[in-house]
């Protein structure tokens, strides 16, 4: 559905997604910074908060960064005592990264704050439209990652 007479970017999906992401994220990222973390550090800690260890490659995909960058982020988080590397039981070439107790304690208030922030952003849409928006985005992500 095109908006007649609208500037290109106002109807271009990639721009709309990027603009919405920036607007939604910027406010919360100030809280992340106030907690002494960078955005990628937050993403790694938030990803690991489900208590499942992840490989660097898995984290790279999830946090939307390149492998060398994620490795440096993990190094910083490990030096801060927030994550630990362990061996993979199935592939000795890969290490698994998981949260430490200190990492859990540091990320928990941010997770709570992120949930409150998301609720404020979505409250104007209502429960049904918010669920539809998330479902549509998940489907778009699935379709784009499983193109054949």
Q: What is the pLDDT along the chain (148 residues), one digit of tens a residue?
A: 566 778 999 999 999 999 999 999 999 999 999 999 999 999 999 999 998 999 999 999 999 999 999 999 999 999 999 999 998 888 778 899 999 999 999 999 999 999 999 999 999 999 999 999 999 999 999 999 998 6
pLDDT in the model for residue 17:
97
Extents of the domains making up the chain: 8-146
Contact between 34 and 19 (Cβ < 8 Å):
no
pLDDT at 116 (0 to 100)? 98
pLDDT in the model for residue 5: 78
* Rounded (5°) CA angle 62-85-52: 50
Q: What is the pLDDT of residue 3?
A: 66
Q: What is the pLDDT of residue 1?
A: 54
**What CATH architecture does domain 8-146 belong to?**
Orthogonal Bundle (1.10)
C-alpha closest to that of 41 among 71, 74, 80: 74
CA–CA separation, 21 and 98 (whole Å):
27
């Amino acid at each position: 559905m095109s908006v007649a007479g609208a500037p290109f970017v106002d109807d271009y999906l990639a721009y709309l997604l990027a603009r919405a992401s920036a607007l939604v994220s910027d406010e919360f990222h100030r809280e992340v910074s106030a907690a002494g973390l960078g955005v990628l550090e937050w993403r790694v800690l938030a990803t690991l908060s489900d208590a499942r260890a992840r490989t660097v490659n898995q984290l790279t995909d999830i946090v939307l960064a390149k492998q060398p960058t994620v490795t440096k982020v993990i190094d910083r988080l490990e030096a801060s005592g927030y994550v630990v590397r362990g061996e993979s039981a199935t592939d000795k070439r890969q290490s698994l990264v998981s949260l430490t107790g200190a990492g859990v304690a540091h990320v928990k208030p941010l997770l709570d704050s992120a949930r409150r922030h998301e609720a404020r952003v979505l409250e104007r849409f209502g429960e049904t439209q918010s669920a539809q928006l998330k479902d549509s985005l998940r489907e778009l992500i699935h379709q784009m990652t499983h193109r054949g």
